[in-house]
């Protein structure tokens, strides 16, 4: 669990670093995706309990002691929602980039600073 | 009762169906859109009504057939209903505003809009943390998408920055949620709150911090808010208004909901961050000229203030009503005004505030604009005013002085840029192009919000503070006169006089003679002065309303029964004065200076009143103030506020512009009547002080300040070419006399103060009215362009002559009485050097008085004034009335000395003896009547002698003078007028440098420079903004000090 | 006292003062002439001048205010004089000092100046307002040390009543303000130089550049009125100074008292005359600055001296 948690944070930081340093809009979005992924890994790893099985009631789980045998199902449920939302945001970002590229023929974030102060 | 969950369901269902419905035509889809939005409003209205007036308990809605915490639950209580009613209403109105846009745009626009509103409803009601995240994302994604409704580069790039910022903050939010879940094993807010002890350790606080700070970032704290500003500036006004108020309201409510998670000791960080945001956003706003970005700064600032208010009151144990007035007041004020103003920017579509002169082509819109702007600036009677009042009280009672100062300074910045904008709208050159007729669909939402603003204001005044009807009069007068706008000016003037008379009658009799004295000045004086304005032609819309507002609010000052009522009317008066100054041809800059200084004064007073106990009395405050001890800090703050109004030295730079650029027949009101309100205020403080004197006597220093005002005002007046500026500085000088004599805090001193007040009221009125007549005839204010007018305007000349004799203190007129009283009282008190300064000042006053009367009326008549006639009758009537007044009290000083003696007798033991007409002080004596008789005698004897024994008197023409046997070339070269006292100027040397002007100029420059410096952080680069956010979180966490 | 008696006394008082003032002017002209090495006009020249100018057949008038200017001026002189008690303890020469105190006198001085300034202004001659502008400006500055000195007096005697001030100085020459409060007297005497408008403070009249200053347009009876006032007003000022600083004039015998008055005022006046004869003229800004420097400081010192030591 702890490794995946650390991995999640590392991804998060790598993603943030990418977002802060890359000038290319698409690379920024990729950075954002990495951040997202890192977050998702963190969420899942928080729900993970060593030596337990997936929270699905099947043969592997004793119905009576289900709660003790499975990992916490809630983070897994949450992460699904988060992934969907992340996907939507990423898609929207990319579509904005396309629109921006059509307007300005540039993918550098430095070319979109006219609004300031 | 409709279960509010149907709002969510219906929105989703209709949202999905819209694509299909749209096949049947856009009209039908619009019908459904507006239908759902109206449904939302109706549902929330019903619930709000139920909670607020029927007293129903909050509603808990469980989903999925389980009760919380197993399932997600929603809550609808009074606050939720209130916020959602407003939010849904704004949603509906904004949709209406966007009618045209929604008609043309792709159907997805409608769907997104619907989903956005649904997200807001869900966000406010949900009690589940993860569900909050989902609704935030629904709200955000639909907002991101709607930003691109106008398909232009700016909105796309702003939207992209927004997405980066929003994406990252919601990631942090999610992390916060998951850690809270990790520590508490729950996602239900109420359950988590119940188990908050599980979060007490460092990591627990950190997870709460992550949760709250990411919501806080969504509320755009300074400086991590560049993305929001870009969005406000770039995006379609209808959408911006939704983002600025609806989204913000929902997010704010989330903040409010989760804030209790944070242990109390950490709350102050958010108070601080909110106030910093308020201060700095407003500071940077003063450099901004794009109206939408300007409103953006204002929005951010206001949200910061609400956050501060909410965070602060969470831990305080104060009544819920006060919290509602304070935090709710700021919130609703911001909500209504900001939405309305953003809509108006969408109607006007001018991206420079300088170009807003076009607004004047549409009077109704201008009025709506004005109301919203005044509301936003926190002026009464709008909710923001009451909020600040309560805030001052709460902050002061908890010793949060720095916070209060920051809030007030920020408010001043905000008022400054708002009124600058207003000034451009009212005064700047009207563009030839006419404003396109405004669609009803666009005007209607604005009108509705203005109406709600007004109703809320009235509701607060009646229900919360239970004000007498008389406090509404100033505003009622404006509306009344607006309705009667079709009448001719003369008729309106008569009407105004009648109103003033009726008003005077209704407040009569007053409790004390002191009140009556000021009643004479404020009410009767104004009534007489209105006659002057009857010379106006046409309808002159928007004049008499504000004039009446000023007069009535001044009257209300005298009878105000509480500090709040006093302050309310004080602000009314300031607003009216501001609008009257703004009417002048070149009134824009002076009016801005005036309102900035006045509001600075008002905020000082607000802070001062924060220290004062609540007074509940059926007597006027001026009579009960003696029993109240004003703390020293409050006293100094109040005195400063009043000193600004009475244009004391250092705070005087608004006076020349305001007096000079106000219309000529309005200036007398300012100079002779309005300026006395400051004196009334000083007396108010002084009466309390004499009953509860303290070790430190601020009035001693006030005495010096008065002396310096007197001499500096006189110097400044001496070197003016503009007659109105000359008289303005003269007012400053004369008010210095009054300030000093009030500060004497002695019997003779106060008689002197009141005598000076009354005297100044009369002579300043008559001089200014006479001058107004002269300017009316000659069309110039530059004195050297006039000359020799005595032959053309003899009555005006006599008025000015009597006026200046009364000013200068030459016996036998009433002015000498004031001088005699002043010096006697000063010497009696031991203020010797001050008296010396006053001797000097009164000597210098001869210079400017002579300059004025000589250059205008004597010397050489100019060719272009050969056909000038005497001033119109309406100017002469008030002059004659005031001449009679001056003559009466000069001949029979007892008419005034005796009443003043008895008024002041209420506060001090009498130190003078009045025997017949002989007044004896401890130092000397004065018999005004005898002086008058002797003077008349010594005047008549030589006159008769001259008439009888003179040789044949031969009248000669203008140029027949002993001019080295030459004929003078022209009146211009012969009239000694321009730069008359150049030798004096040279002699005074360094004393003539405009140091104070320079000081305030540099204050303004520095503010601008600092604002310019700070706004450099908004580079326009999305990555920088992201960096700001990350750093902000780190810094805030450090401040949290966990 | 009946009104007629009072009127009679006032007439006597005024006539005495006027004659004395004019004669004094004549003497001064003589002195100046001798200093300049001229023979000079006879002492009674001022009387001749008045009679001569008054005898003119035609008086040129520029308007009503112009006409009233000299009237104001003389009324100012008369009033100033009449509000001062001339001889301490004399009923005849007590004038209307009951009407007011020192402040009244100080302010009534302006009455004539203001009226005259306005009258001259209507004349339309540029030199009049030039002279007036200089005069007023100079006046504001020399009033400062004088006012300070008066304040010092008010502190010292705890009154502004001239009669009381004179009374306090009786008994011995050492009781005079001159000796009890020398700083105040110095300040006042310097400002007297300005008031009397002798050189170096004669820029107001400045015969070389603006011949005779404000009265430039005045002629015939108007001028005669002004000349009369010059005598009376000059006397009034001197009497005021005598009362305030030099013990006033008091003696059981009214004629002796008058003699004392004449002697004292003559000496006071000679101070101006000697300075005037000896020093060249200041430029306007020089004279104004002069008064605002040392005399003012001396005035302040006199107040501090009286009030705190």
B234–A99 C-beta distance less than 8 A:
no
Q: Does position A65 have pLDDT exceeding 80, yes or no? A: no
Q: Does position B636 have pLDDT exceeding 90, yes or no? A: yes
Q: In this structure, are residues C129 and B976 in contact, taking their beta carbons and an 8 Å threshold? A: yes
Residue B1031: CB atoms within 10 Å: 12
Candidates B366, B364, B309; CA nearest to B332 is B309
Q: Does position B957 have pLDDT exceeding 90, yes or no? A: no
pLDDT of residue B185: 84
Q: In Å, how far are A20, A38, B73, B820, C168 from A11, measured between CA atoms?
A: 14, 5, 34, 86, 101
Question: Is the CB of residue B657 less than 8 Å away from at least one CB of chain C?
Answer: no
Q: Does position B521 have pLDDT exceeding 80, yes or no? A: yes
Task: Say how far apart CA C248 and CA A30 lie, in whole Å.
Answer: 105
Q: In this structure, are residues B168 and B1027 in contact, taking their beta carbons and an 8 Å threshold? A: no
Question: ipTM, 2 decimals?
Answer: 0.96
Question: Is the CB of residue B553 less than 8 Å away from at least one CB of chain C?
Answer: no
If you average pLDDT over residues B356-373, what whole number do you get?
90
**B409-423, B436-450, C77-91, C196-210 — most confident range:** B409-423
Nearest to B927 among C65, C100, C137 (CB): C100
Task: Say how far apart CA B219 and CA B242 lie, in whole Å.
Answer: 14
- What pLDDT band is residue B953 in, cutting at 50, 70 and 90? confident
Residue extents of the structural domains in chain B: 467-939
Contacts of B938 (CB under 8 A, 6+ apart): C74, C75, C78, C79, C82
C144 contacts in chain B (CB < 8 Å)? 836, 839-840, 843
Contacts of A31 (CB under 8 A, 6+ apart): A14, A15, A16, A17, A18, A19, A20, A22
- From B757's Cα to the closest Cα of chain C, the distance in A is 20
Task: Say how far apart CA B540 and CA C79 lie, in whole Å.
Answer: 51
Q: For the ranges B504-518, B919-933, B957-971, which has the lowest average pLDDT?
A: B957-971
- The string of pLDDT tens digits covering residues B620-635 is 889 888 888 889 999 9
If you average pLDDT over residues A58-76, what whole number do you get?
76
C200 prior amide bond cis, ω within 30: yes
- The string of pLDDT tens digits covering residues B128-153 is 999 999 999 999 999 999 998 888 88
Rounded to the nearest 10 degrees, the angle between the axes of helix B473-483 and helix B544-559 is 160
Q: CA of B955: which chain C residue's CA is closest?
A: C61
Q: Which DSSP state fits B434?
A: P
Question: Is the CB of residue A78 less than 8 Å away from at least one CB of chain B?
Answer: yes
Question: Is the CB of residue C213 less than 8 Å away from at least one CB of chain B?
Answer: no
User: What tokens does B882 get?
Assistant: 């005031």
Q: Does position B499 have pLDDT exceeding 70, yes or no? A: yes
pLDDT of residue B616: 73
pLDDT of residue C232: 93
If you average pLDDT over residues C50-58, what whole number do you get?
87
pLDDT of residue A74: 83
DSSP run (H or E) holding B75: strand B73-76
Among residues 65-94 of chain B, which lie with CB inside 8 Å of chain C? none
Question: Which DSSP string corresponds to B712-755?
Answer: HHHHHHHT-SBHHHHHHHHHHHHHHHHHHHHHT-SHHHHHHHHH
Question: Is the CB of residue B990 less than 8 Å away from at least one CB of chain C?
Answer: no
Candidates B259, B568, B257; CA nearest to B389 is B568
Q: In this structure, are residues C72 and C112 in contact, taking their beta carbons and an 8 Å threshold? A: yes
**Long-range CB contacts (< 8 A, 24+ apart) of C206-209?**
C206/C131, C206/C134, C206/C281
pLDDT of residue A3: 87
Higher pLDDT, B371 or B321: B371
In DSSP terms, which residues pair with B722 in a beta bridge? B782
B532 Cα distance to chain centroid: 27
If you average pLDDT over residues B377-385, what whole number do you get?
92
In DSSP terms, which residues pair with C60 in a beta bridge? B954
C299 contacts in chain B (CB < 8 Å)? 836
If you average pLDDT over residues B367-395, what whole number do you get?
93
pLDDT of residue B175: 93
Residue extents of the structural domains in chain C: 3-308
pLDDT of residue B430: 66
pLDDT of residue B989: 83
Mean pLDDT of chain B: 91
Best to test chain A binding among B1020, B1028, B1029 (most A CBs inside 10 Å): B1020
CATH 3.10.310.50 fits A2-111, yes or no: no
pLDDT of residue B65: 72
- From C175's Cα to the closest Cα of chain B, the distance in A is 20
Task: Say how far apart CA B285 and CA B299 lie, in whole Å.
Answer: 11
Rounded to the nearest 10 degrees, the angle between the axes of helix C64-82 and helix B928-949 is 130
User: What tokens does B55 get?
Assistant: 């007293």
Q: Does position B431 have pLDDT exceeding 70, yes or no? A: no
Question: Which DSSP string corresponds to B953-1009?
Answer: EEE--TT-S-STTS--S-HHHH---TTTTHHHHHHHGGGGS-HHHHHHHHHHHHHHH
Largest CA distance in chain B: 119
- For C267-306, b/e burial (b = at least 16 CB within 10 A) is ebbebbbebbbeeebbebbebbbbbbeebbebbbbbbebb
Nearest to B164 among A12, A32, A114 (CB): A32
Residue extents of the structural domains in chain A: 2-111
Task: Say how far apart CA B540 and CA B529 lie, in whole Å.
Answer: 17
Q: For the ranges B485-489, B744-748, C241-245, which has the lowest average pLDDT?
A: B485-489
* A to B contact (≥3 Cβ pairs closer than 8 Å): yes
On the 0-12 / 13-18 / 19+ scale of CB atoms within 10 A, B928 is buried
- The string of pLDDT tens digits covering residues A37-51 is 999 999 988 877 777
B225 three-class SS: coil
Q: Does position B693 have pLDDT exceeding 90, yes or no? A: no
pLDDT of residue B780: 92
If you average pLDDT over residues B905-926, what whole number do you get?
89
Q: In Å, how far are B238, B535, B915 from B338, measured between CA atoms?
A: 11, 40, 66
pLDDT of residue B738: 96
Q: For the ranges B87-91, B495-499, B617-621, which has the lowest average pLDDT?
A: B617-621
Q: Does position B63 have pLDDT exceeding 90, yes or no? A: no
B233 Cα distance to chain centroid: 26
**B310-314, B433-437, B873-877 — most confident range:** B873-877
If you average pLDDT over residues B840-849, what whole number do you get?
94
Q: Does position C1 have pLDDT exceeding 70, yes or no? A: no
pLDDT of residue B981: 92
pLDDT of residue B644: 93
B784 contacts in chain C (CB < 8 Å)? none
Find tokens 């002043």 and name the residue.
B822
Question: Which DSSP string corresponds to C12-76?
Answer: HHHHHHHHHHHHHHHHHHHHHHHHHT-----TTHHHHHHHHHHT-SEEEE--HHHHHHHHHHHHH
A89 contacts in chain B (CB < 8 Å)? 137, 140-141, 144, 163, 166-167
What does the radius of gyration of chain C's CA atoms come to, in whole angstroms? 19
* B to C contact (≥3 Cβ pairs closer than 8 Å): yes
- The string of pLDDT tens digits covering residues B316-363 is 778 888 888 899 999 999 999 999 999 999 998 888 999 888 888 888
Candidates B738, B736, B767; CA nearest to B529 is B767
Find tokens 């006697």 and name the residue.
B824
Residue percentage of chain B with pLDDT more than 90: 73
Q: For the ranges A36-50, B555-569, B670-684, which has the lowest average pLDDT?
A: A36-50
pLDDT of residue B538: 84
Residue percentage of chain B with pLDDT more than 70: 99
Q: Which DSSP state fits B651?
A: S
Candidates B227, B874, B960; CA nearest to C123 is B960
Question: Is the CB of residue C149 less than 8 Å away from at least one CB of chain B?
Answer: no
Rounded to 5°, angle at Cα B972 from B970 and B975: 105
- The string of pLDDT tens digits covering residues B239-298 is 999 999 999 999 999 999 999 888 888 899 999 999 999 999 999 999 999 999 999 999
- From B615's Cα to the closest Cα of chain C, the distance in A is 44
Contacts of B11 (CB under 8 A, 6+ apart): B36, B40, B114, B115, B117, B118, B121
- The string of pLDDT tens digits covering residues B149-166 is 888 888 999 999 999 999
pLDDT of residue B433: 65
Which stretches of B472-530 are assigned E, i.e. beta strand?
none
pLDDT of residue C15: 93
Chains that touch B (3 or more CB pairs under 8 A): A, C
């Amino acid at each position: 669990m702890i490794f995946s948690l650390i991995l999640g944070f590392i991804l998060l930081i790598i993603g943030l670093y990418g977002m802060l340093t890359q000038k290319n809009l698409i690379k920024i979005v990729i950075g954002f995706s990495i951040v997202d992924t890192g977050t998702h890994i963190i969420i899942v790893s928080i729900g993970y309990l060593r030596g337990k099985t997936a929270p699905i009631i099947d043969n592997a789980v004793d119905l009576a002691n289900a709660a003790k045998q499975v990992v916490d199902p809630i983070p897994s449920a949450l992460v699904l929602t988060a992934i969907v939302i992340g996907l939507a945001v990423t898609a929207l970002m990319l579509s904005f980039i396309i629109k921006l590229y059509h307007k300005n023929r540039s993918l550098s974030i430095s070319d979109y600073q006219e609004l300031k102060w | 009762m409709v279960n509010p969950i149907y709002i969510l369901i219906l929105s989703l269902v209709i949202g999905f169906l819209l694509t299909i419905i749209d096949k049947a035509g856009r009209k039908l889809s619009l019908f459904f859109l507006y239908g759902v939005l109206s449904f939302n409003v109706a549902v929330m209205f019903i619930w709000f009504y139920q909670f607020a007036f029927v007293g129903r308990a909050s509603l808990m809605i469980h989903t999925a057939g389980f009760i919380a915490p197993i399932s997600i639950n929603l809550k609808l209580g009074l606050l939720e209903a209130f916020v959602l009613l407003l939010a849904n209403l704004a949603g509906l109105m904004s949709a209406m505003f966007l009618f045209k846009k929604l008609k043309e745009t792709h159907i997805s626009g409608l769907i997104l809009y619907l989903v956005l509103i649904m997200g807001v409803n869900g966000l406010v009601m949900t009690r589940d943390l993860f569900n909050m995240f989902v609704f935030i994302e629904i709200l955000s994604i639909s907002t991101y998408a709607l930003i691109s409704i106008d398909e232009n580069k700016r909105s796309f790039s702003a939207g992209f920055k927004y997405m980066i910022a929003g994406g990252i903050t919601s990631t942090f939010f999610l992390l916060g949620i998951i850690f809270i879940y990790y520590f508490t094993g729950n996602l239900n807010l109420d359950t988590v709150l119940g188990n908050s002890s599980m979060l007490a350790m460092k990591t627990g606080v950190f997870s709460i911090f992550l949760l709250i700070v990411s919501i806080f970032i969504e509320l755009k704290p300074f400086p991590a808010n560049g993305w929001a500003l870009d969005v406000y500036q770039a995006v379609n006004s209808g959408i911006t208004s939704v983002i600025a108020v609806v989204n913000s309201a929902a997010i704010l409510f989330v903040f409010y909901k989760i804030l209790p998670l944070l242990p109390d000791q950490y709350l102050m960080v958010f108070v601080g961050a909110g106030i910093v945001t308020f201060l700095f956003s407003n500071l940077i706003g003063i450099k901004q000229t794009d109206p939408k970005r300007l409103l953006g700064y204002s929005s951010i600032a206001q949200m910061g203030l609400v956050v501060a208010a909410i965070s602060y009151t969470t831990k305080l144990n104060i009544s819920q009503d006060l919290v509602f007035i304070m935090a709710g007041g700021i919130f609703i004020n911001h909500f209504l005004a900001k939405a309305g103003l953003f809509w108006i920017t969408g109607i006007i579509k001018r991206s420079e505030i300088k170009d807003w002169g076009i607004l004047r082509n549409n009077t109704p819109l201008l009025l709506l604009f004005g109301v919203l702007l005044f509301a936003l600036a926190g002026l009464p009677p709008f909710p923001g005013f009451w909020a600040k009042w309560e805030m001052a009280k709460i902050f002061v009672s908890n010793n949060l002085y720095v916070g209060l100062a920051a809030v007030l300074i920020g408010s001043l910045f905000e008022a400054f840029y708002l009124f600058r904008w207003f000034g451009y709208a009212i005064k700047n050159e009207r563009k030839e192009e006419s404003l396109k007729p405004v669609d009803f669909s666009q005007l209607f939402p604005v009108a509705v919000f203005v109406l709600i603003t007004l109703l809320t204001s009235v509701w607060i005044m009646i229900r919360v503070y239970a004000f007498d009807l008389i406090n509404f009069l100033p505003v009622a007068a404006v509306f009344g006169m607006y309705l009667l706008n079709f009448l001719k000016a003369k008729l309106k003037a008569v009407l105004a006089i009648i109103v003033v008379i009726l008003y005077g009658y209704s407040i009569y009799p007053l409790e004390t003679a002191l009140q009556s004295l000021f009643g004479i000045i404020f009410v009767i004086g104004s009534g007489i002065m209105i006659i002057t304005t009857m010379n106006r032609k046409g309808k002159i819309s928007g004049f008499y309303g504000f004039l009446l507002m000023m007069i009535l609010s001044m009257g209300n000052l005298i009878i105000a029964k509480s500090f709040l009522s006093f302050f309310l009317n004080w602000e009314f008066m300031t607003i009216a004065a501001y609008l009257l100054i703004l009417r002048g041809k070149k009134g824009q800059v002076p009016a801005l200076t005036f309102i900035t200084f006045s509001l600075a004064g008002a905020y000082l007073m607000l802070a001062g009143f924060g220290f004062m106990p609540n007074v509940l009395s059926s007597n006027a405050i001026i009579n009960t103030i003696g029993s109240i001890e004003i703390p020293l800090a409050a006293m100094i703050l109040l005195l400063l506020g009043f000193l600004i109004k009475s244009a004391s030295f250092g705070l005087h730079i608004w006076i020349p512009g305001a007096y000079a650029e106000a219309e000529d027949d309005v200036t007398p009101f300012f100079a002779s009547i309005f300026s006395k309100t400051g004196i009334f205020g000083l007396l108010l403080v002084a009466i309390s002080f004499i009953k509860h004197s303290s070790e430190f006597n601020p009035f001693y220093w006030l005495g010096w300040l008065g002396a310096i005002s007197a001499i500096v005002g006189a110097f400044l007046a001496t070197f003016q070419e503009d007659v109105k500026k000359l008289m303005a500085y003269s007012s400053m000088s004369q008010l210095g006399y009054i300030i000093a004599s009030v500060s004497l805090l002695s019997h003779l001193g106060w008689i002197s103060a009141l005598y000076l007040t009354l005297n100044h009221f009369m002579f300043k009125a008559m001089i200014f009215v006479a001058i107004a007549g002269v300017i009316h005839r000659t069309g110039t204010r530059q004195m050297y362009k006039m000359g020799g007018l005595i032959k053309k305007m003899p009555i005006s000349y006599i008025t000015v002559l009597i006026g200046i004799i009364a000013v200068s203190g030459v016996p036998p007129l009433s002015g000498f009485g004031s001088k005699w009283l002043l010096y006697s009282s000063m010497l009696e008190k031991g203020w010797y050097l001050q008296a010396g300064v006053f001797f000097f000042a009164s000597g210098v006053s001869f210079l400017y008085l002579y300059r004025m009367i000589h250059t205008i009326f004597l010397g050489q008549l100019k060719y272009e004034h050969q056909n000038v006639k005497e001033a119109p009758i309406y100017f002469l009537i008030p002059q004659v009335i005031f001449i009679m007044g001056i003559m009466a009290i000069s001949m029979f000083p007892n008419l005034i000395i005796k009443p003043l003696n008895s008024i002041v007798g209420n506060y001090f033991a009498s130190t003078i003896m009045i025997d017949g007409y002989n007044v004896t002080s401890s130092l000397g004596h004065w018999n005004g009547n005898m002086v008058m008789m002797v003077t008349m005698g010594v005047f008549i004897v030589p006159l008769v002698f001259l008439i009888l024994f003179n040789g044949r008197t031969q009248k000669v023409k203008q140029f027949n003078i002993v001019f080295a046997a030459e004929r003078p070339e022209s009146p211009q070269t012969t009239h000694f007028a321009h730069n008359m006292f150049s030798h004096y100027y040279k002699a005074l040397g360094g004393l003539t440098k405009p140091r104070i002007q320079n000081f305030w100029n540099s204050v303004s420059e520095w503010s601008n420079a600092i604002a310019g410096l700070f706004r450099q952080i908004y580079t326009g680069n999305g990555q920088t903004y992201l960096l700001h956010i990350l750093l902000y979180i780190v810094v805030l966490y450090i401040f949290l000090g966990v | 006292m009946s009104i007629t008696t009072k009127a009679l006394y006032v007439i006597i008082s005024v006539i005495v003062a006027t004659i004395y003032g004019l004669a004094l002017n004549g003497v001064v002209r003589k002195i100046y002439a001798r200093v300049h090495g001229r023979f000079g006009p006879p002492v009674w020249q001022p009387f001749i001048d008045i009679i001569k100018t008054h005898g003119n057949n035609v008086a040129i008038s520029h308007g009503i205010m112009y006409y009233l200017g000299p009237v104001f001026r003389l009324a100012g002189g008369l009033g100033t004089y009449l509000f001062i008690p001339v001889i301490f303890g004399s009923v005849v020469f007590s004038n209307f000092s009951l009407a007011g105190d020192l402040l009244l006198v100080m302010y009534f001085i302006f009455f004539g100046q203001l009226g005259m300034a306005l009258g001259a202004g209507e004349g339309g001659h540029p030199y009049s307002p030039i002279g007036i502008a200089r005069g007023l400006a100079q006046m504001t500055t020399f009033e400062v040390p004088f006012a300070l000195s008066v304040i010092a007096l008010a502190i010292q005697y705890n009154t502004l009543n001239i009669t009381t001030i004179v009374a306090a100085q009786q008994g011995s020459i050492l009781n005079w303000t001159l000796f009890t409060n020398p700083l105040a007297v110095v300040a006042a005497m310097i400002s007297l130089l300005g008031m009397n408008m002798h050189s170096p403070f004669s820029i107001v009249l400045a015969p070389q550049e603006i011949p005779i200053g404000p009265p430039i347009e005045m002629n015939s009876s108007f001028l005669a009125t002004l000349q009369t006032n010059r005598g009376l007003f000059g006397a009034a000022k001197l009497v005021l100074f005598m009362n305030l600083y030099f013990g006033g004039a008091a003696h059981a015998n009214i004629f002796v008292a008058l003699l004392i008055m004449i002697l004292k005022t003559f000496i006071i006046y000679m101070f101006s005359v000697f300075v005037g004869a000896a020093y060249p003229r200041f430029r306007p800004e020089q004279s104004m600055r002069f008064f605002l420097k040392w005399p003012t400081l001396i005035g302040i010192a006199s107040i501090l001296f009286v009030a705190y030591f």
